[in-house]
Amino acid sequence: MPFYDAIPEDWLEPGCSATVSVDGMPVAIANVDGSYFAFQSLCPHQGTTLGGRPVVDGHIECSQHSSRYEVTTGRCVQASIPDGFNQNLMTFPTRVIDGVVQVQI
């Protein structure tokens, strides 16, 4: 599977995330201490946008029902409140080439 250019490396500060289009697909990218991680842009619980949310201690939290995910692995570390929905995020490999973050989808 090919890698696609997503964002310039200096575009996303540590602790931030954003939703970008990668080959026409919305993908969330997070910067964790200078390393980049890509994952599905919508919470699997009810489709709330995750990109643009802050990344705290390597985790991103859904604004709707407080599901929390580890952005490095996609693992759900806190189930949705109040129904306990617990599903991991789909993640995508990333790399940085010549100052550009690329995502494999």
Share of the chain above pLDDT 90, in %: 96
On whether residue 23 sits in a domain, the answer given is yes
CATH code, domain with 28: 2.102.10.10
Residue 24 domain boundaries: 11-95
Tally of domains within the chain: 1
Residue pLDDT, tens place only, 1-38: 899 999 999 999 999 999 999 999 999 999 999 999 99
DSSP letter (8 states) at residue 26: E
User: What's residue 40's pLDDT?
Assistant: 97
Work out the mean pLDDT of the chain and round it to a whole number: 96
Look at residues 105, 101, 73 and name the one whose alpha carbon lies nearest to residue 8. Answer: 101
On whether residue 4 sits in a domain, the answer given is no
On whether residue 30 sits in a domain, the answer given is yes
On whether residue 102 sits in a domain, the answer given is no
Confidence of residue 82 (pLDDT cuts 50, 70, 90): confident
What is the arrangement of strands in the sheet containing 68-70, beginning at the earlier edge strand?
Answer: 55-56, 59-61, 68-70, 76-78
